[in-house]
Chain A
Amino acid sequence: MKVLATYSIKGGVGKTTSAVNLAFEAARIGARVLVWDLDPQGAATYFFRIKPRVKGGTQRLVGGKGELATHVRATDVAGLQLVPADFSLRHLDLHLDGTKRPTERLASLLAAVGDRYDVAILDCPPSISLASESVFGASDDLLVPVIPTTLSSRTLDQLGRFLGDQPAPPGILPYFSMVDRRKRLHRDLVESLPRQFPDFLTSVIPNASAIERMGPERAPLATFAPATPAAHAFRDLWAEVSARIWT
């Protein structure tokens, strides 16, 4: 099982919409996919219309006797399952801190279901904390959405430096998110930033009203607006990620 995490230190950059739509695209090409909603806001859980509830709370889930399998819920998308979030995840750092090896805990929970899935996508809350370190320990690659702003390269630099100090860091796969081509700054940065960070994925997720419609529709974009540029962009983005996994 390949473990990916949609991760950014910043909030509101499109992590959850990416996690949901990339998971959909992964299932569409025949992967058995698990989305783990680690964000107490539970937006990924919401998009899949699943009740936001961590049975027994986060402490029980990440505790020594916790098992991911008992928390899994089928979604309405064939081949895609989800571990839902609830508000108890706001104490994830605290509960991880109470375990023996907090930075390895998420990895060990995922390893126990590793033969049931081809891909796990962790939808992470915006922060850099103990929970983030545990995500880094569990992930093969971080999918990092980047809004083209002047601070973006600084944020990516910070993440790169932090992971550089880790013993076995995940790969960083940045990509542009919420891009507005009408803005000159966006156009310029989409052109220039990949020269600075060669691993930048080439697909660009636009800032589109179709993506906002995921809220009222409560479904992955391609299920209700498959022909939109945004849906195509997620499909292309997944094709890039997929090519790195299955050659």
Chain B
Amino acid sequence: MQPQVFTHARMSSDEVTAHLTDSGFDIGPPSTVRRTVLDTFDGRLAAAGMRLELREGDHWELVLTDDASLPAHLAVTDVPSSAASLPAGPIRARLGPVLGVRALLPFVSVTARRLVAVRRDGAGKIHVRVVVQDRLAIEGGGRASPAWGVEVDELEGYDKDARQARAVLASLGLKARPIGLLDLIADRAHVDLRGYDGSPSVALSREEPAGDGFRRVLVRLADTIDANWDGTVHALDPEFLHDLRVAVRRTRSVLAQAKGVVPSAERARFREEFGWLGSVTGPARDLDVYVTEWDGYVASLGPETAGQLEPVLAHIAGRRREEHAALAATLTSDRYRRVQAAWRAWLDPEGEEPGQQAPSAARPLGSVVALRVAAAQEQVVMRGRSIGPDSPATDLHELRKDAKKLRYLLECFGGVLAGAPRKAFVQQLKALQDNLGEHQDTEVHSDRLREISRELHREPGVTAETLLAMGRLTEHFEQRRQAARDEFAQRFAAYDTKRTRRNLDDLIGSATGR
């Protein structure tokens, strides 16, 4: 829990300190502390009700707080870059499941002079701690307002003393703020401590012209691409590339659905450009998945085989670095800049020339979305029904693409679809997609492993044990692929039901206002 903060618009912090001394508080020596809020780009700690703070003073420490328990403190010598960079222990155990592979990034920093005032009993036990922080300076030069703040650190079991301390501050005219000091500072620095919201959903109206609605969705996706660009170029964590890539694929998918809504020349041009962007981001992403999922892949093969596969992991990690370097070069290339500039220019409605509208751009967005959702679902059902036990794997891959198109439609145009049936429908679709994803991913992994095997054959020092272990891993992927293939018919049957159709009808009804 963040300590309560008190401020005063006119009084100085020295006056408060003097008054605390008069009220029986012992004031400790002043120190200068830099406080930085750390979180992932998408604010996973904030979403989990946690706050991680780095305090840099005479010594460095991490302070992890949440809404339900006491703060945890850990001395550190470096700024942690991720959960994995922390020593094994309780803080890593708590942060690991929340952060996943995401990097810890500084959100806001403030430097302050810190004075700790305590009130003790006859045995010397501290009953209440009041922390005066003044000379506040926000990192980046922002002016701190308020210029100082007083935090009352409530100690469990000593509520009466905390109440008395608050009364002392109130008697001086200090006002309790509803949020903590760091939240106030973040507010002044225009930093949203909730992190970046990567959801494609935007506010839409089913009556608005389809052209406007599609454009707003595409602007949102362009913002997500831009927001994740820096983290992808610098390979801060694998989720930046993942989120950028998903936004690219969604953009391409929305453009594919924009026939008659977006002028055909622009539609064709940008579909091609985003197709290019999708293809150049693929190799690095595949290798990211390989490395981050590696422990799970080899876990069932036992520690001996896992050990024999270490050179393979090292080889993949090396390839991954190469692919990320190539991707960074692409994302900082002239072609990328030209595409982005042209795309932004087209997205800007001010720049649109009169008479350039596509034939369906003025139609109500809701009815256009309803038609597209119905058509995408029809495509999924028709293809799914045509797949039998002897159908080639490519049919399942095509079905996976169809399902993705439908899913992207539901996510990007959620603003005109009723929440409850959309959630129910997405759940059913997701179960099918999980099966199709497992089938394709394991096949891609097998193929990649065979390719790596050929590469490693040419490298000196790779043992026969390693090559045999690769064979076992390929076999493991093959077993998983076959299991997914065997399960497909059942999964599709569970999807292709009256319930799904009912949910779809409800969805379409919500888009058209029926």
Is B90 in contact with chain A by the CB < 8 A criterion? yes
- Give CA–CA (A117, B68) in the complex, Å: 10
- Give CA–CA (A49, B87) in the complex, Å: 31
A31 touches B70 (CB 8 A): no
B156 touches A74 (CB 8 A): yes
Residues of B near A115 (CB, < 8 A) are 68-69
Residues of A near B74 (CB, < 8 A) are 28-30
A27 touches B69 (CB 8 A): no
- Give CA–CA (A71, B156) in the complex, Å: 9
- Give CA–CA (A247, B89) in the complex, Å: 7
B90 touches A119 (CB 8 A): yes
Judged by DSSP, the binding face of B is: loop
Q: With contacts A76-B126, A79-B71 known, is A246 near B158, CB below 8 A?
A: no
> How distant is B98 from chain A, measured CB to nearest CB, in Å?
14
B68 touches A247 (CB 8 A): no
> How distant is A210 from chain B, measured CB to nearest CB, in Å?
19
How many chain B residues touch A (CB < 8 A): the figure is 27
Q: Which residues between 67 and 108 of chain B lie within 8 Å of chain A, taking CB atoms?
A: 68-75, 87-94
B89 touches which of A29, A79, A117 (Cβ 8 Å):
A29
Is B508 in contact with chain A by the CB < 8 A criterion? no
Q: Which residues between 357 and 382 of chain B lie within 8 Å of chain A, taking CB atoms?
A: none
A30 touches B69 (CB 8 A): no
Is B125 in contact with chain A by the CB < 8 A criterion? yes
How many chain A residues touch B (CB < 8 A): the figure is 29
- Give CA–CA (A193, B64) in the complex, Å: 41
Q: Which residues between 228 and 247 of chain A lie within 8 Å of chain B, taking CB atoms?
A: 242-243, 246-247
Residue of A nearest to B126 (CB): A76
B88 touches A246 (CB 8 A): yes
Residues of B near A51 (CB, < 8 A) are 121, 123, 125
Residues of B near A116 (CB, < 8 A) are 68-70
Q: Which residues between 73 and 93 of chain A lie within 8 Å of chain B, taking CB atoms?
A: 73-74, 76, 78-79, 81
Q: With contacts A50-B125, A81-B156 known, is A30 near B62, CB below 8 A?
A: yes
B91 touches A30 (CB 8 A): yes
Q: Which residues between 60 and 110 of chain A lie within 8 Å of chain B, taking CB atoms?
A: 71-74, 76, 78-79, 81
Residues of A near B124 (CB, < 8 A) are 49, 218
B70 touches A76 (CB 8 A): no
Residues of A near B93 (CB, < 8 A) are 118, 246
B90 touches A73 (CB 8 A): no
B125 touches A76 (CB 8 A): yes
**Which residues of A come within 8 Å of B, CB atoms?**
26-32, 48-51, 71-74, 76, 78-79, 81, 115-119, 218, 242-243, 246-247
Residue pairs across A and B with Cβ atoms less than 8 A apart, 11 shown, are A29-B90, A30-B72, A30-B90, A32-B72, A71-B157, A73-B157, A74-B155, A78-B71, A79-B71, A246-B88, A246-B89
